[in-house]
Chain A
Amino acid sequence: MTPHPSASLRHLRLGSWALAVGLLLGLVLEMLHGFKSGWYLDVGNETRRTMLMLAHTHGTLVALLHIVAGIVVRVCDRPVVSRFASAALIAGLLLPLGFLAGAFGVHGGDPGPGILLAPIGGVALLAGVVSLAVGLSRRS
């Protein structure tokens, strides 16, 4: 377990920016609702709407996870986040990015090809969280 000296700051910085983007996307979606945009709300665009909603929720939650990770690194008196966990959590951002990309190039009930990023991000996120849990479970 080799704690990166700037791991905390990196996660906090990344998390904050990701949270800003996630919230901004939320505002955009609310605006699309407000103006009753057919591109977003029409029943035929259900897949796009689902992708954008998933991008917003997952993006916000992953951002909060990074902020939590950054705080954990800072408050723990021992190294709990490995390089692998740190990298995997960052790669986890591919999950919301995949949903966002999948909202474009929708074909019927199938999202656009960008959705391929989502499972990669999902696996990375899972690995990162498991790695973090393992790190926290270890006794110093």
Chain B
Amino acid sequence: MQNTPIPPHRRPLAQRLRAWAWPITLMALAVFAQTLLTGWNRITPPAKEIPAGPVQNLAGGYATSATCRSCHPGQHASWHASYHRTMTQAARPDTVPESMNGLELTLGDRRYRVDRRADEFLVREGPVDGGTDSLGPPRRLVLLTGSHHQQNFWIETGQGNALEAFPFGWLIADRRWAPLTDTFLCPPGVTQGRSQGVWNNGCINCHSTQGRPGISADGIIDSQVAELGIACESCHGGGEEHVQRHRNPLRRYLSHLTGGGDDLIANPGRMSGPEASLACGQCHSVWAFQSAADAVRWNHEGRTFRPGDASLQERFVVQPAEDPGALAKAGQQMGDPHLVENSFWGDGRVRVTGREYNGVEASPCFKGGDFSCQSCHQMHRTDTRRDGLTAWAASQMQAGATGNQACLQCHGAFNDPAALTKHTRHAASSEGSSCYNCHMPYSSFGLMRAVRSHQVSVPDVRESAEWGRPNACNLCHLDRPLAWTAEHLKTWYGQTPPALGRDDHEIAASVKWILQGDAGQRALAAWSMGWAPAQSASGRHWISPFLANTLNDPYAAVRYVAWKALLTLPGFADYPFDYTAPDDETFAAATAAYQRSLDLRQRQIAPPAFNPATLLDKEGRFIEAPFQRLLDTRDQRAVYLIE
């Protein structure tokens, strides 16, 4: 290296530094000021203001789904496509229905108007006969729950972050608004089903991740959540420690190579059947608090259950069949005995959807150990193609588990069509040889539709005769009486027939259910009348008068289901009906539909004969005496099937 003089065009280092002195000094001052400001803010936090909606709180070791994504992109993708994710969302232009802006609805003597301001939606309420000036002050629409079948909306109240239900729900498939109480099966005239604070002490539990109701003794509500919607940590528990441990790539690759799990994170896929199922059952069950003290603690802190626990901790799953005192205890602890009681058939089997764990736990399959919700369902689909994910998200079934394959995993003997036919007495390819149809019939109800019972069981006429629950056979063979079913079950399987009354020998079971049953039975019967396998087994020619008559049912949900079933029948595909209309209009629509069914039959050259058990004369009219008698003896008790 030889010494060379500094070229004349280059300034000395000191001179060059001086040129940068001012900018560097200014930047240093700015950084110093920012540091001071940040430090000051830490020392003197602003007075606590509870925002309108729930606050995110990651205390307890939560990390959120955004953190999980970087290491588990496939699992994140399938969860992201699921309806679990969108079970609760912030109300934004991209999450609410398009018709929300400028929405005007009336309910009773109240009028509601929703307007968009920037990305917010403001609700104003006033008397129905007043002008725009009569509307009250605007309140922000904060959250919405649901995204699969229907959406419900929550408005700020100004009382902490307590939320109040917007009194209308959005039925997604129908693209229509309906009074909130008409989107659940509940008695007519119920108007205060979901009032202020219900989201904060009810929905928050299962429609968000690690919700903390934050209801203090002085009544102030400061609800917090780890994440809106049902995210990764609902099933896997708080992931913060797991994330910290696995930031180290060597640890990650070691874990990949050894195939070992991580004891810092719960993984239902590695749990025993009961523990894995309880991860689902923490929400999908009818539960109640163990004690009043537990209820108070829960209403403030939220649940202490973590996936992998063997019990719900401060709560218990209500199983009236196993514990006869469970219903009374649950009713007392939950403060609403009717709601709990309504969730069960008389023999203790759950009858409302969304509570499938009760059925799974009571199933004979569950007693073995490995059987769990994941035997049929999968929370993460391996194939993450978008179209496949969309179809999968509807029920999150395992590949192949939509058919008999689900049961054949254990009951492999019925893989042989001959063995299957011998067992079912139906053709192997028919709906009568579907494991699901016989052992998990559509005897639960919720979200305006019938849902399969998740208590795997053997069809038995006794369940219908004693408890009123539609049995699997008559949910398909709608035109047959219970006695017909009892005779077949006796001949084929040696079941002892129960004592049956005269009507059960002469009147089709579905006719009894839809005319004489309680609102839940009527809804199930009406739904089954629109179910293709039942129409195939029982014929469609006799169904329309019953569905027409049910359009005038006192329960809005039953009217809705009947209308949907009616639309599946020839001549009714375009039948207009507003199931939320006033009584006189639904009566007129029911009368017109009945008349249409008579006209359609009259136009037929050789109309098929009716089974006498259907109580229809040859023209398709109701045989008046038994029809009226069944109506007069209808089970009028108030039924709430709130999922």
Which residues of A pack against B, CB within 8 Å?
Answer: 38, 42-47, 107-110, 113
Instruction: Specify which chain B residues have a CB less than 8 angstroms from the CB of A44 in the assembled complex.
Output: 73-75, 77-78, 382-384
Q: Per-position contact with A for B156-174: 1 when CB-CB < 8 Å, else 0?
A: 0000000000000000000
Residue B9 lies at the interface, judged by CB distance under 8 Å to chain A = no
Residue B10 lies at the interface, judged by CB distance under 8 Å to chain A = no
Q: Which of B71, B252, B256, B383 touches A38 (beta carbons < 8 Å)?
A: B383
In whole angstroms, how far apart are the Cα atoms of A45 and B77 in the complex?
10
Instruction: Specify which chain A residues have a CB less than 8 angstroms from the CB of B74 in the assembled complex.
Output: 42-45, 108
In whole angstroms, how far apart are the Cα atoms of A107 and B80 in the complex?
19
Q: Per-position contact with A for B70-85: 1 when CB-CB < 8 Å, else 0?
A: 1111110110100000
Instruction: Show 7 residue pairs from A and B whose CB-CB distance is below 8 angstroms, ordered by the A residue.
Output: A42-B77, A42-B383, A42-B385, A44-B384, A109-B70, A110-B249, A110-B256
In whole angstroms, how far apart are the Cα atoms of A47 and B75 in the complex?
13
Instruction: Specify which chain A residues have a CB less than 8 angstroms from the CB of B69 in the assembled complex.
Output: 109
Q: A43-B77, A44-B77, A44-B78 are in contact. Are A109 and B71 (CB under 8 A)?
A: yes
Instruction: Specify which chain B residues have a CB less than 8 angstroms from the CB of A47 in the assembled complex.
Output: 73
User: Can you name 11 extra interface pairs (CB under 8 A) apart from A45-B74, A109-B72?
Assistant: A42-B383, A43-B73, A43-B77, A43-B386, A44-B74, A44-B75, A44-B384, A108-B74, A109-B73, A110-B253, A110-B256
What are the 10 tightest A-B residue pairs by CB atom distance, in nearest-first order? Answer: A44-B74, A44-B384, A43-B77, A109-B71, A42-B384, A46-B73, A107-B256, A43-B384, A109-B70, A108-B72
Closest to A113 in B: B253
Instruction: Specify which chain B residues have a CB less than 8 angstroms from the CB of A113 in the assembled complex.
Output: 253
For window 246-291 of B, CB contacts with A under 8 Å fall at 249, 252-253, 256
Closest to B386 in A: A43
Which residues of B pack against A, CB within 8 Å?
Answer: 69-75, 77-78, 80, 249, 252-253, 256, 382-386
Instruction: Specify which chain A residues have a CB less than 8 angstroms from the CB of B253 in the assembled complex.
Output: 110, 113
Give min CB distance, B378 to chain A, whole Å. Answer: 13
In whole angstroms, how far apart are the Cα atoms of A45 and B75 in the complex?
11
In whole angstroms, how far apart are the Cα atoms of A43 and B252 in the complex?
21
Closest to A105 in B: B256
Closest to A50 in B: B73
Closest to A38 in B: B385
In whole angstroms, how far apart are the Cα atoms of A47 and B71 in the complex?
9
In whole angstroms, how far apart are the Cα atoms of A55 and B587 in the complex?
70
A110 touches B77 (CB 8 A): no
Closest to B380 in A: A44
Closest to B71 in A: A109
When A and B form their complex, what is the total count of cross-chain residue pairs whose Cβ atoms lie within 8 Å? Answer: 44
Instruction: Specify which chain A residues have a CB less than 8 angstroms from the CB of B75 in the assembled complex.
Output: 44, 108
Instruction: Specify which chain B residues have a CB less than 8 angstroms from the CB of A107 in the assembled complex.
Output: 256
Instruction: Specify which chain B residues have a CB less than 8 angstroms from the CB of A109 in the assembled complex.
Output: 69-73
Instruction: Specify which chain A residues have a CB less than 8 angstroms from the CB of B78 in the assembled complex.
Output: 44
B252 touches A110 (CB 8 A): yes
Instruction: Specify which chain B residues have a CB less than 8 angstroms from the CB of A43 in the assembled complex.
Output: 73-74, 77, 80, 384, 386
Give min CB distance, A20 to chain B, whole Å. Answer: 32
Instruction: Specify which chain A residues have a CB less than 8 angstroms from the CB of B70 in the assembled complex.
Output: 109
In whole angstroms, how far apart are the Cα atoms of A82 and B77 in the complex?
49
Give min CB distance, A56 to chain B, whole Å. Answer: 20
In whole angstroms, how far apart are the Cα atoms of A109 and B78 in the complex?
15
Instruction: Specify which chain B residues have a CB less than 8 angstroms from the CB of A45 in the assembled complex.
Output: 73-74, 384
Give min CB distance, B333 to chain A, whole Å. Answer: 42
B73 touches A108 (CB 8 A): yes
In whole angstroms, how far apart are the Cα atoms of A43 and B80 in the complex?
11
In whole angstroms, how far apart are the Cα atoms of A107 and B382 in the complex?
13
Give min CB distance, A100 to chain B, whole Å. Answer: 18
Instruction: Specify which chain B residues have a CB less than 8 angstroms from the CB of A42 in the assembled complex.
Output: 74, 77, 383-385
In whole angstroms, how far apart are the Cα atoms of A110 and B254 in the complex?
12
Give min CB distance, A114 to chain B, whole Å. Answer: 12
In whole angstroms, how far apart are the Cα atoms of A4 and B70 in the complex?
46
Closest to B381 in A: A44
Give min CB distance, B610 to chain A, whole Å. Answer: 53
In whole angstroms, how far apart are the Cα atoms of A124 and B583 in the complex?
82
In whole angstroms, how far apart are the Cα atoms of A107 and B251 in the complex?
13
Instruction: Specify which chain B residues have a CB less than 8 angstroms from the CB of A46 in the assembled complex.
Output: 73
Closest to A43 in B: B77
Give min CB distance, A49 to chain B, whole Å. Answer: 10
In whole angstroms, how far apart are the Cα atoms of A110 and B78 in the complex?
18
Give min CB distance, A37 to chain B, whole Å. Answer: 10
Give min CB distance, A99 to chain B, whole Å. Answer: 15
Give min CB distance, A131 to chain B, whole Å. Answer: 17
In whole angstroms, how far apart are the Cα atoms of A98 and B72 in the complex?
21
Give min CB distance, A43 to chain B, whole Å. Answer: 4
Instruction: Specify which chain B residues have a CB less than 8 angstroms from the CB of A110 in the assembled complex.
Output: 71, 249, 252-253, 256
In whole angstroms, how far apart are the Cα atoms of A130 and B384 in the complex?
43
Give min CB distance, B261 to chain A, whole Å. Answer: 13
Give min CB distance, B509 to chain A, whole Å. Answer: 47
In whole angstroms, how far apart are the Cα atoms of A111 and B368 in the complex?
39
Closest to B252 in A: A110
In whole angstroms, how far apart are the Cα atoms of A108 and B76 in the complex?
10
In whole angstroms, how far apart are the Cα atoms of A46 and B71 in the complex?
10
In whole angstroms, how far apart are the Cα atoms of A79 and B127 in the complex?
91
In whole angstroms, how far apart are the Cα atoms of A107 and B70 in the complex?
12
In whole angstroms, how far apart are the Cα atoms of A44 and B79 in the complex?
11
In whole angstroms, how far apart are the Cα atoms of A107 and B253 in the complex?
9
In whole angstroms, how far apart are the Cα atoms of A44 and B71 in the complex?
11
Closest to A47 in B: B73
Give min CB distance, B576 to chain A, whole Å. Answer: 42
Give min CB distance, A120 to chain B, whole Å. Answer: 15
In whole angstroms, how far apart are the Cα atoms of A110 and B72 in the complex?
9
Closest to A48 in B: B73
Interface core residue of A43, A107, A113 (most chain B CB under 10 Å): A43
Give min CB distance, A45 to chain B, whole Å. Answer: 7
In whole angstroms, how far apart are the Cα atoms of A65 and B164 in the complex?
64
Closest to B389 in A: A43
Give min CB distance, A110 to chain B, whole Å. Answer: 6
Instruction: Specify which chain A residues have a CB less than 8 angstroms from the CB of B72 in the assembled complex.
Output: 108-109
In whole angstroms, how far apart are the Cα atoms of A44 and B383 in the complex?
8
In whole angstroms, how far apart are the Cα atoms of A45 and B73 in the complex?
8
Give min CB distance, B40 to chain A, whole Å. Answer: 39
Instruction: Specify which chain A residues have a CB less than 8 angstroms from the CB of B80 in the assembled complex.
Output: 43
Give min CB distance, B541 to chain A, whole Å. Answer: 47
In whole angstroms, how far apart are the Cα atoms of A67 and B568 in the complex?
71
Instruction: Specify which chain A residues have a CB less than 8 angstroms from the CB of B386 in the assembled complex.
Output: 43
